[in-house]
Structures are given as C-alpha cells and as structure tokens.
Amino acid sequence: MSTSSTQSRRINRRVDSLQSNGAGSREGSWPRKRPVTHDEAYLFALRVAYLAYLLQPRARRTQHVPAPPVQVQRSSTSINDLMKDFSLLRDSKSTRFPHGFMSELERRLTGVLMGKERKPEYNDATIKRTFAAFFNAFTEQSFKKRMEKDRRVEDLVLIFFSNATKELQKGKTPGDDAWKLMVDRHLALFIRLISLVLKDHDWVRDRPELTSRLATLESKLLAHDQDLAASTSRNGGSGGSTIEVIVPLSYEIKDMPLVQVVARIFGVTSTLVQSDINKNKAAWTERAALHDLKTYQMYLNLNSRKTLRKEDFDSDDAYETWKKGETHDLSQMMLAIIQANPELAKDTSAASLPHFNRQVNSPDTSDAAYPEALRRTSSGPENSSYVIDQPVDMTAYNSGDQSPIVTNEDDDIFTFVPPDARAYFRFILARALTYDLNDPSVQQSQNADTDPSVNILSKASTELLNEICLRWRVPQVSRAILFLDIIRDKFVDQEITLDTLDAAFNFAKEPFSDHRKASSFISSLLSDRTKWTVADVALNQRILSALHDALLRDLYEVLQHCYEQKPPSAGPIIYVLEEHINNDPSFAKTTKELQTFRAQLYEALQQKAHEIYRSFLEKEVPQDQYTWEFYHVIQMGKAVVSLAQRIQKRYRKNPEVLGVNPLTALVETILPLYAEDARDIVARILQLAQEKGEEVPIEDGFQLYGELIEIRRIHGEVLPGTVFAFHIEGLLADFVWRWIRTTESTITDWVDQAVKQDTFSVRTENKSQIPTEEQRHSVSVIDIFSSFNQTIDRIVQLNWDDDLQYAKFMTALAKVVGSGIARYCELLDQKFGKEMDRLTPEQQLAANQTTQEKWLRVAKDAWSNKEKIEPFQFFPESFVKLNNIDFASLQLDKLEREVNVDACAAVIQSHAPPITQRQRKINNYVFTIKIVEAENLKACDMNGLSDPYVVLGDEYQKRLAKTRIIYRNLNPRWDETVDITTQGPLNIIATVWDWDTLGDHDCVGRASLKLDPSHFGDFLPREYWLDLDTQGRILLRVSMEGERDDIQFYFGKAFRTLKRTERDMTRKITDKLSAYINHCLSRRALKSLLSKGITMSSVSSYFNRNKPQPPPQAPTEAEVMNALKPLFAYFDDNFAIMNQTLTSGAMVMVMTRLWKEVLATVEALLVPPLSDKLSAQRPLMQQEVDIIYKWLQYLFDFFHAVDEETGEANGVPLDVLRSPKYFDITTLNFFYFEATENLIRTSERMASATAARQQKERNRLSAPASLAAPSFGGAAGLVGLTSTKRSKSIMLSRNLGTIRKAKEEKWKEAQADPNDDMILRILRMRPEAERYLKDRSRQKERLAAAAAAETIVRQSLASGGGRMMSSLPRR
C-alpha cells in the first residue's frame, strides 16, 4: 500500500470520529458564539498592520565626514625579486615559451591596440599607451629574433616593465609615486595576456609549470592593487567617512503600506483609518505584542484550549512536532520585538529569552521554512517590521466549527489576536480575494508575471496576509485549506472562472521557489499530510466533493455541444478534475455515481448523433429516388466523414472523457445508419441505370469508393469487433474493370502520339551545351512512362481493400503496360533500322554508276589492295533512341518494384484452387526462336565469300524477323532471338540472303520448320540443324512458353522486349564497325605483317623456293602495335561521335558489344567453329599466334581505357572484359601446339569429369524444375536433340534484378564448368582426328538424350505445389 493511502486511512479514521461524535477542538466546547463582523475583522487586521509598522527597521540616512589624506605606500619588492621563480630555472625547457608563441602574442597585442580585445580590462587608454610603447620594442627585429630563439619569460617581462616604467612616469612630479602601482597593475595585465594566449592555443597542457609560475607572478603584482582604490582617491581625493542618523517614526498612514492595504480591502477612508490608529496607538504597542506572545506561550505549555492540542492531530508525533516548532518560533518573535524596541529588555528577564540565531532550521510543520522575505512589504525591505530568519506558527486556533463566529469568553486575553483566529483570517482572506479579483489595475499589472498567484492575490494583499498569519499563529496547511474553501464558494457561486480555480490549486500545490517564498502566505498541499490537523483534513474532503459535483455538471453541459462546429472545450474541466480532484489522496471516489454519470452522458451523446445524421440525410438526399445520383451518397458520406474526422482530431490525445468516448458514441450511431442507406441507394441507382441502358460515369464510382472506404476505416478503428454493413469492393469492382478496358483500348494511340511528336534530341537548352546523363533521352519515353505511372497510380490511389481484386487489377494493367512498351519498341526499332540501313555517300555515288564503271572500280581497288572503310555517319537521333530504350528499362524496373509484382503474384497464387482442380488451358503460345549460326554457305561474291543475313517469315510471306549482316563469312554466327506468338501450329521459313552494296541481294538458301505446340508440351528448348535448299545448313534453337495471365509473365515479356530491342540496336551500331574490325584482325593482315610487303628479295625467294630458306624474322613490338593503329583511330573517330549523345551506360554497352566482336574475330582467326567435321582452316604458326595474343592485349588495354595520370578506368569494366570467351581464348594457347594424341586424351578426361559432375548434380536435386542439363555448346544439337536447360524464359527475365542474376549465374557456370569445346575446335584442323570427332559427337548425342529423358520422367512424376499465402503490400 502506498504511503499516501496509508496516511489517508489514518487521517480519515480521526475525521470519521470527529464527524460522528460531533466533538471538535476547544471551539466545540465554548459556550457562546457570534459571527465575525466587518468592523471587528477590520480592527484586528488594522492592529496587525500597525504593529508591522512599529516593528519595521528604522530608516537611516548617511552623512559624510572628511578624513585626512593618507600617504600611499608601495611594497619595496623589486622586479628582480619577483622574477626569481624564472631566473632560478633559466635553462629549464618547462618555463620557456613554446614555439610559435611570439607570433601569436604579436597578433594578440595588435588586437589590444586596435580595440578588438574581448577582455574589458584592456580597453583603458592608459593601458593601450603602455602596451603600444612595449609593442614598438617587441617588434624590433633584433629583439624579436632573440626572443624567438631563447623564448625566456624573464626577458619579455623585463622589457615590458622597462617600457611601462618609462611611459607611466612621464609628466609626474618627483614626489608623486602613485604611478608605480600602475606599473605593477599594467605588468600584471601583460602577464594575464600571456596566460590567455597559452590557454587559447592549448599550450597549457604542455607547459603546466610555466602556467603556474605566471599565475603566481600575476597574484604578487596585484597584491597592492587595492591601493588604487584607496579612500584618498574618493570624494575628489579628500577621503572621509559616513555616519548614520535614525529617522523617527511619523505615525502617518502614508508611511504604513500594510495599513493602506487594510483600508483598501475593507473600503475604509484614510481619514478614518488615521483616526483609529491615533485613538488606539497607546494600546497597540510593542509591549502589548510581547505580552500576547508570552500569554500564548503560557497557554501552549499548559495544553490549554486556547491553542491546538493532541486531539486536534491524528498522531502524537504530529502534535509534538508542531509544538516544538511553535516554542522555537515564539522565542524568535520575542527576540525580534526586543531588537525593535530595546527599552523592553529592561522589563524582560534576559534568561527568559533565547539567543538569537539567524541560521537555525525549525521543523517542517512550523514557519521556519519561510525566511524573513515573507514579512517584507511591497515597498521594500526598508519598511519591514523586523528582521528575523525564523517564521512562526499560530496562537489562537479553533479546530472546531468552521463558521465565522467568535466567543465572548476571554475576549480581552490578547491585544492583537482575535478570539477565533481561523474565522477572522478566513473573513479577511475572503475580503482580500474579492477585492483583488475585481480590481482591474491589480490584474493588469500582474498578468505579465508567470506565477499563477498573481492573478489571484496582489503582492500587497499577500504581504498583509503573511503578517496576519504570523501574528495569529495560523498553521501553514490551514491557510491553504481556508484559501481553497473560499475559492470553492466563489466557483460554486460562479464568481470566478475555471482558470482561476486551476490557478488557485496550482498556487496551493506548487513547491516553493525563492520568488514564491517572498510572495506566498500558504504552504504546499504536497507536504506531509500526517502532520495536518483533523479539521483541515475534513474541510479539504468537503471542498473536493463539492468541486467534483460542480465540475461534473459543467462537463455534462459542455459535452452536449461537442458535435458542433466550434464547441466549448472540455479540456480545462477534465484537467482540473483529474489533476486537482481525482488525484488528491483525500478525495473519496464513488464508482457507482461515476458509472451513472457515464451512462447518462453516453445516452445523451448518441441522441445528439442521431439528430445530426437525420439532418444530413434530409439535406443531401432528395425525396425522389429517380433523381438519386452517386453525388448524393458522396456528399452525405463527406458530411459523415468530416464530422467523424473532426471529432477524432478533436479528441485524438484524450479520446475518452471520464470513460466516455464521444467518437464511439457518434460512430456507433451514424455509421451503421449511413452504411445501410448507402448500400440501398447505390444498388437502386445501378438498377435504374441498367434499366435505362446507361452507364454511371467511372469517376463517380471512384469518388464513391473513396468516401465509402474512409467511412469503413473509421468504422473499423472505432468499432473493431463490428463488421461493416456490406462489401464495398464487390459492389464497385466493375468500375475499375471498365476503366482498365478503356485504358487498354487507348494505350497504342498514346504511344503513337508520343513517338510522333518526339524529335529524339537531347533535352538541352541550347545545342552547344553538353548534355548531362539525365538529358540524353528524349521526351517520348518520359511521356509514355508518365502515362503508365498515372494509370497505375489511379488504381493505387483508390486504396483498394481487397487484395485478390487488387492483384488482378495490377495484372491487367501489367498487360496494358507490356503492350504499350512492345509498341514503343516496335516504332523505335523501325525508325532506328531505317537510319542504320541508309546508304553512305560513297554507296550512293556507286549506285549511280554504270555496270562497267562498277567493275572497273572493283578491279582497281583489288589491284591497289584498297579497302578503305569510312566511319559511318551516325545520327544523334539514333543514339537518343538507344538511350530511350535504356531509360525505359530502368523505369520499368522501378515500376515493377513499386507495383510489388512478386506480392501480387503470391496473393493470386494463394487464392488459386489446388493443382488437381485446375483447368490448365492455354490459348496463346510464345515461341522463342534463336538464330544461332550457319555452316558451309554458298559463296555469292567475287571474293569467294558472302555477306549473309537471315529473314524469318511465315507461310503467308509475312516477315517476322531479320538478323544483322555478317560480312565476308561462309560460317556466320548471329545469336539473335525473336518471339513469335501463335494460337496453333505455324510454319516458318528461314531465308539466308547475301547483302550486296550494288544491285539486288542474292538468295543463299531456304529452310522451313513447323512450330507445333503439341511437340513442346514439356516446355523444354530444342535445337534444329536445318539443311538449306542449296548448300549448307542453319542452326535454330526453339523454346515455347504458354502465355499466362500472370503479372510476372507480363513484366518479364516487357523486359525481354526492351532488352531485345536494346540488343538489336546495339548490334546494328556495332555492325557498322565490325567490318573494319574483321579487316584489321584478319589472316591477310597477319600475312602482310609477316611478309612486310613485296620486295625484290621476296620475288627472288619465290623463284628459289626449292632451296632451304632461313626462318622469317619476327616483327618488332612497334610493328605489331602499328598494325592496330588504323583500328584504334577508327574506334576513336566513332567513339567521339557516340560520346556526345550516348549515356555512359549505353556507351559501355556499345563498347562491350564491340569487345565481343573483337573476341569473336580473334577466336575465328585461331580456330574454326565447333562441328563434327574437319575444317579447311589451316592452323597458325607460332609467330602468328604470338602476334594475335599481343593484339588481344593491346585491345584489352584500349577497351579498359585506364587514365595514365589518375589510374582510373573509364572504359569497359574488368569483369566484363574478362568474360568466359576471353578466358577460353587465353587458355587456347596452352593446347594450340599440343600433339593430337595429347589433345584427344585431354578431351576424354574433361568429358568424363563433366559427365560425372552433371550426374552428381542430377542426383542431388529432387525437383525437376531445378535440374540443369549438360551444356554442349554447338555440338549438342548436331542431330536436333533437346537441351534440358531453360536459361532465358520470360519468367526468369521479369525485371533487371533477375536479368542481372541470370548473367552472373551464366558467367559463374562458364567459369566453374570448363569443357573440351576448344580442344575439339583445334582438332577440326587436324586430319588425323576425324574419327575422334565423329565418336565424340555420338557420345554427346547419347548424353543429351539420356538427360532429356530423365527430365521428362521426373516432370511426369512430380505432383502438387505449395500455396503461397501473403497479404498484398501496396505500391
């Protein structure tokens, strides 16, 4: 049990006894009582005020008396004696100045002379003059150089002393020695400045001994500083002293501040007050006051009814504590009176008075805690009645009936104390409160004060009440209780406001500060309540109970207006109830009465809420149902929501008022009514619209949904256990689907208009300005993604509260976005292709030549070995289109994250039926066809080569795709992919064409393939070698996916469309550059580098070829490097054009693609493509291989582009340069010149290791979807068998993260899973390995077939799938 509750129980036991038995203190047994009258209270208050005037310290005035002059004495201590502390340690480093000190001291001295020094003592003109004289000597170069070398303190001090002495004795008479003290003072200020410089630069820690000695020196110099302020310097140098003269009392009320206060609060004129004082001043003396104290002390010792007794306290300890304090205070008060009037000491025994002690601390219940400041009047301490540090307590105290009455018995016992001090004090306090609360001048003059008491009592009234309580021995707690009792009466009678009531409680509760002690006459109610009198406890309980009832009545009336626009605030009432009534330990709470109050208040609030809703319904909804619109429901909902939000905001911090929640009462009443009415009205509106064949506007449905969910939200917060009247989403979902269908029908027009209006230029203010990364894409891509975001935001902003429906909405919008992106890529690819396929100026000139001119030019170029390739003139608009595709990928990835695609898919999956119950029906199929390579094509050009490209078309001659051109190659490799969507079987025709600059393109050959969805039921990829109708064959890799109504599928398809378009554009750019790469990195270039041209010696060697020839001399490093200079210059020319427009990411992408072209060209120089047949390509010699690897290293450094000064790489990152293809080429050198037998054995070991590793992986994996089939490069499809790995499905490319992850996994797999493909390609150039190549091909066929069969079996045996349960995070 808490201390407060224990104390309350003990006190209440005595109080209950008091109230039940009717037995009080001494007043309860007094025979006769009469009310306190105005005149009697006035006279007793006047006596106390007059006594305060008599006991106040007498005013004194001072008088000056001249004194003879005194000769100024100066200590004989010399400067050398003062500097001994430094000179004795002359060579000690600890007493020297630190390095750099002299320059800092010079800067500080300059600040003193310029008046910038912060210390005020340096602003004197004489000091500045002295410092200026020293500064001149200090800045002399010889002295400054010597000081910087020696850094001795004594040198610096002595030079200052010398200059100060010279400066201060100027103009002084020989007998005037006062200036010598000024030298010491100025030198001390200089020492102080040195210390400040050391401290400001943190040199004090390194020189503690120096700092200590400087401080000692400063104190010695200031030892005689008081001589500068000697008495001889005062009063014009004449000196002198003062004497005090006591001012006699005037006995006029103008000199009596407390008497004037009594006159004001009782409404008595000054003349009448002066008359009363003159009439009674003979009896109202200090002697009478001393007699009152002695009499009270006698009654206290006799335990008389004239004072408090043990029965008036709850415990004996409380009484003894109070009595001890009273005894001590009475002694101090007697001593104070004798000090004010020493004549009384002659009639008073010194032994009967205690020794006066200003520092004694009395017990807590006495007035000892209140210092002398409590007795100061408003006019200041000079008007105080007496000066003691020990306040006192009460004399005549009545603990019985609280009515303002007095008795006739022994009325003349005391002169200054009334018969019933408690009743008289209450009367006077009520008069003072009434006067101050009604006096505008008092309130206006005190409002600026932060003390709450200033709004209740003026300082003058407080001083008077202090004096009355002191003289009449009113206990501190009794003062507070009586103060609150008067406040209670005034509040119940509506004479004061709630703010005044709160201020009164705060005034009674606040602990004392220094300011409060000087202006308060009551103690804090937070003091120990076990020391209270029984009468105070009982009165306090009655005060709290009466105020509690009055505040509850006010609260009920205020809350009847809580739903109004500007209701009165209930906060102040609640605050006063909780802070001052309910939290008081003396207040007895009645639970039953409080519950009754809550029930009545809640019922009244519900009735008010019902009335308000009926007014909303009558105002917003027409009587005629045929005129109903969503607008009416919306307006009524807005009114309901506005009211609920206003009430919720109004009561946010304190939602309940004494256990009653106004918001709950409102919502429980109006929300169910509104929900039912809204459901019926909306249903009726939709029914009438259907009957009329009309559609309600979509925006009306969206606005209605917004209002309804806001009401449902409030309903859920306030009524968590009550279900809303109807499912809003089910009623209004059709509006969202209508809006999505409308968007889908217009998305193509949006894209077309955006592309049509775009000029595809960088978004700079002027053409000469270099664009930033953010300015290198055009406005069309910004416009279309702005449209996409607005489309999705429109659904997101609805805050749709059905996760499954929301996920389906996002899925439908993902399909719309995907179709828009596909259209945008199609338009940009068309424009980009036209710009890339245009003829160069030379080609246009050649096109206008005759056939004879064309043949002559070809022959001339062939004879002169001319193959000059001019840089292709790229349009900036082409690069902007590539930037747009790159920017679109980033924006789509951002959109995918904001939509939270995975969460949407998980929600739909969690609501899907079990797999056994699903009807898997696919209407559309997506075939992904990769045009890989071709072999042994027909030569169509005069040089015995072709420039092949492939066109895919359907059986209706509709072009589906076209590859890039591979120049001068009969074994081209394209590696280009296209998606074809079909609903059934489809025949495709692959036509290989030879590109010609002049004339029509030649047909190299054709092949056809039937795409039948029934043949791809396992959804695994397959490879087909298709024989052309002329000669050679072409490799196609085909996979199929079922087009699903899945948000991940739609985003994946859109990402793949963007990436494919980006890749195609990049290839078209690099194709313009690859011809020159092939020209510079060719066997012809190798031969030219080794032969070094045709010379006479080479001709002679031709005719002498049967003779043994010396080995050819290898070219130098410079010659090898010079062979690549034309290629580097060609790259620099084109990169300069690209760098002006392409973004950094696109630039790296183009360079990366060029690097792949370089690697492919180098690889083709070294080995032929992978096949099971021998190749006609001859192996290179050692010198040729060495030159190729040197070229590769030079190109590697060129593409990495390391800055020689900063060492920063500005080109392609190392991880991209060091691709798996690069590692294959670098490792090729280890096997290139190995014997055939060794290569065959190495190939067999690698094949066995690969097969074992793949078998181990298949055994580890249990799920068929996770199986990985062996990778056989180009040879796996020699007979058209399937490959069991799906590495580029749409679902694995649904965002940039999955695309990046797939690339990383592919790179790691290529690094961690080496194979023997390179060895097989070397063996193609070895005729003796023909049989092994065929055996190895058959082995791979068997392994691929076994892996595919195992995968199919596992897929057929697989069953079931986990269901993903997830809530749908919104965008």
pLDDT tens-digit profile of 532-560?
Answer: 888 988 999 899 999 998 998 899 898 88
For residue 287, what are its two tokens?
């002697």
Alpha carbon distances (Å) from 763 to 263, 877, 969, 1071, 1145: 88, 12, 41, 28, 18
For residue 545, what are its two tokens?
């109970």
With a CB cutoff of 8 Å and minimum separation 6, the contacts of 832 are 878, 881, 882, 1065, 1068
Residue pair 1042/922 in contact (Cβ under 8 Å)? The answer is yes
What does DSSP say about strands 405-406 and 34-35: parallel, antiparallel, or unpaired? antiparallel
* H-helix segments, 302-420: 316-340
For residues 721 and 1123, what is the distance between their CA atoms, to the nearest angstrom? 84
Smallest CA-to-CA distance from 1271 within 1256, 1289, 1253, 1259 is with: 1253
Element (H, E) at 217: helix 208-221
CA atoms within 13 A on the CB side of 1022: 20
Smallest CA-to-CA distance from 776 within 279, 1143, 1080, 1057 is with: 1143
φ, ψ at 923 (rounded to 5°): -95, -35
Residue pair 1063/1304 in contact (Cβ under 8 Å)? The answer is no
φ, ψ at 506 (rounded to 5°): -60, -40
Amino acid present at 620: E
Burial class of residue 639 (count of CB atoms within 10 Å of its CB; 0-12, 13-18, 19+): buried
For residues 607 and 1268, what is the distance between their CA atoms, to the nearest angstrom? 73
Low pLDDT (below 70) residues in the chain:
1-33, 61-93, 175-178, 223-242, 347-412, 442-455, 511-526, 840-871, 914-923, 943, 997-999, 1016-1020, 1042-1043, 1092-1112, 1257-1315, 1344, 1347-1371
For residue 721, what are its two tokens?
């256990």
For residue 716, what are its two tokens?
């859920």
For residues 1246 and 581, what is the distance between their CA atoms, to the nearest angstrom? 92
pTM here is: 0.54
Residue pair 916/859 in contact (Cβ under 8 Å)? The answer is no
For residue 1151, what are its two tokens?
């360079």
φ, ψ at 55 (rounded to 5°): -90, 0
With a CB cutoff of 8 Å and minimum separation 6, the contacts of 579 are 502, 505
Alpha carbon distances (Å) from 406 to 34, 49, 394, 403: 5, 21, 17, 9
Hunting for tokens 């200033």 — which residue is that?
454
DSSP state of 837: S
Hunting for tokens 């004549």 — which residue is that?
343
Question: Could you read off the pLDDT of 1235-1256 as tens digits, one per residue?
Answer: 888 888 888 888 888 777 777 7
Q: How far is CA 65 from the centre of its chain?
A: 74
- Taking 3-state DSSP, the helix, strand and coil percentages for the chain, each rounded to the nearest 5, stand at 60, 5, 30
Element (H, E) at 868: none
Alpha carbon distances (Å) from 602 to 609, 1272, 1352: 11, 82, 72
Residue pair 1044/922 in contact (Cβ under 8 Å)? The answer is yes
Question: Could you read off the pLDDT of 1155-1185 as tens digits, one per residue?
Answer: 888 888 888 888 888 777 888 888 888 888 8
Residue pair 1199/1213 in contact (Cβ under 8 Å)? The answer is no
Smallest CA-to-CA distance from 971 within 1159, 803, 1160 is with: 1160
pLDDT for 902 equals 87
Smallest CA-to-CA distance from 726 within 711, 738, 748 is with: 711
Where residue 1032 falls (left for φ over 0; alpha for ψ -120 to 50; beta otherwise) is: left
Residue pair 872/1136 in contact (Cβ under 8 Å)? The answer is no
Q: How far is CA 889 from the centre of its chain?
A: 30
Amino acid present at 293: L
Amino acid present at 1222: Y
In the chain the first and final C-alpha atoms are separated, in Å, by 54
* Sign of the C-alpha dihedral computed for residues 1025, 1027, 1031 and 1034 taken in this order: negative
Question: Could you read off the pLDDT of 508-520 as tens digits, one per residue?
Answer: 877 544 444 445 6
Determine how many CB atoms are found less than 10 A away from the CB of residue 483: 24
Hunting for tokens 């709470």 — which residue is that?
589
Residue pair 741/733 in contact (Cβ under 8 Å)? The answer is no
For residues 792 and 740, what is the distance between their CA atoms, to the nearest angstrom? 10
Smallest CA-to-CA distance from 955 within 982, 987, 991 is with: 987
pLDDT for 266 equals 93
pLDDT for 265 equals 93
Question: Could you read off the pLDDT of 952-969 as tens digits, one per residue?
Answer: 888 887 888 888 788 778
pLDDT for 1283 equals 41
* H-helix segments, 476-570: 476-492, 498-509, 514-517, 534-559
Element (H, E) at 187: helix 178-200
